[in-house]
Structure 1
Amino acid sequence: MAYLTLLRPKDWAKNLFLFIPLFFSGDFFHWDLYPRLILGFIAFSLVASSIYIINDYRDIEDDKKHPEKKSRPLASGKVSKPAALIICVLLLITGFAIAFFIRDKFLFVLGIYFILNLAYSFGLKTIPILDIIIVAIGFVLRIKSGAVIAMIGLTEWLNIMVFLLALFMAIGKRRDDVLLKLSSGTDMRKSIKGYNLEFLNVVLALVCAVIVVAYFMYTMSPDVIRRMGTYRLYYTCLFVLAGILRYLQIIFVHSAAGSPTRILYKDRFIQISILLWITSFYLIIYMKDVTLFQ
């Protein structure tokens, strides 16, 4: 179990972003695209897990001070350092081999993701602001990978919204780290010295506002309306707003930001908001010929 935990399979949910371009393009039911996308998901997950191992390897001492991270396989000693490195190499070889089999452009994007995150693990994560920007770029590279694999276009609006959403969640997690520092007196990560609660509260509110505005502009963009064949996408703004407000409530009221992935797994309100957003988007895009949506 410790070896499986080392791979952080729960964080593989982030790699579902590879399927987002397919959904937004209106080609969600082109089943012939799925085998390669699923393989791409596997390849991305394997490479991402190798990065997690490298990151945990370098952060063993810092993780031992963290109330939750101290139970990670390397920090707790359940997995030895040599074993972790061997697993890391095997993951990299397998992940990049699958990517090469799928498409050379996907291999290129995955390579950029790996190099960027390697640089992150070896020092860039200690630089405030740059650390959260790199995290957000990682999500943009995920949707870029999905578009490359499926060979479909990717609008600038989708890139912007994914980047902003990922940035928003990364800021929320940094805020949680600041709260831990205030309660324990210990820095949970080196970059946290460049943040304080007041700064993160302001930035969080700012990015939140930009996300909402960007999504509204996306749904009402003439180009998007033309491509989608409907002007009713703005109906979905309700669920985006509800999800963001709930996340803000978790951060500001409950002070329990933590991992965005964990919140997604546990919070029913956000889960329902996402489900309703997906459902409404599906009905508007894929059933626009039904009288109700004409």
Structure 2
Amino acid sequence: MTRKPLILDVDGTLLRTDMLFETFWSAMGRAPIDTLRVAAGNLSDRARLKAELAALADCRVDLMPVDENVRDMAQQAAEQGHEVILASASDESLVTALAAHHGLSGRVFASDGVNNLKGEAKADALVEAFGERGFHYAGNDASDVAVWTKADDVIMVGDQPAARAALEDEGHAVTQLPGGWSWASLIKAMRPHQYVKNVLLLLPIIAAHNFGLSAFLPVLLAIVSFSAAASCIYLVNDLLDIDADRLHPTKRKRPFASGALPVKTGMFAVLGLAAVALGVAALLNAAFLGVVVLYMILSLAYSLKLKRMRWVDIATLAALYTIRVVAGAAAAQVYVTGYMLVFIFPVFVTLGCVKRLTELTLATSDDRLPGRGYGRPDRSDLLNVAGLGMFGALMVFFLYTFTEQARSLYPTQWLLWVAMLPIGGWLFRMVSLGYKGKQDYDPIVFAMRDRHGISLILFALTLMFYAAGLFQNAFGF
């Protein structure tokens, strides 16, 4: 007796992702202008939109995360003699490639550039091919109800209580498999641990010795705005880097790359976070809003293009950190000296080199890093540039000690020269640990957890505060 075929939906069922959104972000990474043009011009024609995005994109279906429960069920069905067929609203070029990769039936049902095979259209196509109740169907979406009602056995990925009850009332045998996503995955993708970088917004008021609430409270709001902006860009960066992350030894566990968080959910989160970042910035002042907009534009340019350009990526990273200092000054409406900015920039050039050194040292092969322009032969050049950054930062700091502003803020000048020792020691430690691969992939996050490094930074700050007479004024010594 011929067994009824098992029909598998793809997006959210066999795959823990959605091919339409995967193709959009893959195409954005390759040709952003063309992608936006295609998306805007075909919003009302989903079949054509999917076909054109698939043509623009370079998606690796072999890397897309699979739902293990669905895969195991399909394998058992195949062993029992069932034909396992993919039926998806995604473009047929991708669905065919996916079926071939997983060794499934070469007969697929998919959108073809003219017809969008979703909901009723998919149900009609399957009934025409196999007859009503002539197939079993696994799906996960509300649009799959139209197909489930025409199927025999129903496999439901995720919890849809109302649909399940209605199907069982109609006499369908319903098997439910776990599915869905968690808020924990979204929070992880937002990387709140990276918010520690926004302590840089406090530097202008610390350097100006302005510790009043009138300066401190606006900076706290500014940190909220920058944190939302940073999370927004992290999500965009991860969406653009999905394939590269899936090839990375540790980044493949990120929520989008692993399929723990749907791409569509991430896109809604991007819009929400952008609204928070710009809304809070607008509440502060126009100058700070302008800095936030600049930060987001430069961050987006980095994600789309600049991070793939050797040395330009490091300069951009340093600029993004420096912008945080400018943002703190704009929020608190305090003056930030050119010396501070010129000092900060080479410090972050050094840390940008440390980031790449760490990645190259921890890489498992001599190939260029996925999505980056560096390979292991570049380690010596990165080390040299890091050394130049260290020297440049310390030289600028030294020259600053002779300015009129430095003399007025720091009467005990020689203590500033002593403070250069722990600053230089901290920079040397960061470079050394990065070169040896003993760091996290993000040097700033590592620095906030490194007890020895924190001790050096606190020692330098103590010397600077003492040079400024702050301890004497506060404690009378």
Distance change >3 Å, CA 202–CA 182, structure 1 → 2: farther
Superposition pairs of residues 15-34 of structure 1, within 5 angstroms: 15-27=198-210, 29-34=211-216
Q: Secondary structure at the match of 1:276?
A: helix
| 8 A Cα contact 2:326 2:336, kept in partner | yes
Q: Which protein shows a greater Rg?
A: 2
Quote the residue 1:81 is aligned against: 263
Which amino acid letter does the alignment assign opposite residue 138 of structure 1? L
Quote the residue 1:205 is aligned against: 387
Q: Which structure's residues are more often helix, by fraction?
A: 1
How far residue 185 of structure 1 moved from its aligned partner, in angstroms, is 3.8
How far residue 184 of structure 1 moved from its aligned partner, in angstroms, is 6.1
For the aligned residue pairs, the C-alpha RMSD in angstroms reads 2.2
| 8 A Cα contact 1:177 1:188, kept in partner | no
Superposition pairs of residues 147-166 of structure 1, within 5 angstroms: 147-166=329-348
Paired residue total: 292
1:272 aligns with 2:465: no
How far residue 230 of structure 1 moved from its aligned partner, in angstroms, is 3.9
2: CA distance, partners of 1:85 / 1:79: 11
Which amino acid letter does the alignment assign opposite residue 275 of structure 1? L
Give the number of the structure with larger relative contact order, counting CA–CA contacts within 8 Å between residues 6 or more apart: 1
Distance change >3 Å, CA 51–CA 195, structure 1 → 2: farther
Quote the residue 2:237 is aligned against: 55
Aligned to 2:426, which of 243, 249, 253?
243
* TM-score of the two chains, using structure 2 as the length reference: 0.58
2: CA distance, partners of 1:233 / 1:265: 23
Superposition pairs of residues 36-51 of structure 1, within 5 angstroms: 36-51=218-233
Q: Which structure's residues are more often strand, by fraction?
A: 2
1: CA distance, partners of 2:372 / 2:281: 33
Could you report, residue by residue, the CA deviation over 1:81-135 in whole angstroms, capped at 9, with x for unpaired residues?
0000001100000110000001111000110011111111111211111111111
Deviating more after overlay: 18-27 vs 272-281: 272-281
| 8 A Cα contact 1:26 1:228, kept in partner | no
2: CA distance, partners of 1:118 / 1:7: 16
1:287 aligns with 2:471: yes
Quote the residue 1:70 is aligned against: 252
1: CA distance, partners of 2:351 / 2:316: 13
| 8 A Cα contact 1:43 1:99, kept in partner | yes
Superposition pairs of residues 99-138 of structure 1, within 5 angstroms: 99-138=281-320
1:8 aligns with 2:194: no
Which amino acid letter does the alignment assign opposite residue 20 of structure 1? L
Quote the residue 1:217 is aligned against: 399
How far residue 245 of structure 1 moved from its aligned partner, in angstroms, is 2.1
| 8 A Cα contact 1:7 1:49, kept in partner | yes
Superposition pairs of residues 254-273 of structure 1, within 5 angstroms: 255-256=438-439, 258-273=441-456
2: CA distance, partners of 1:87 / 1:204: 36
1: CA distance, partners of 2:334 / 2:367: 49
2: CA distance, partners of 1:24 / 1:38: 16
Distance change >3 Å, CA 190–CA 252, structure 1 → 2: closer
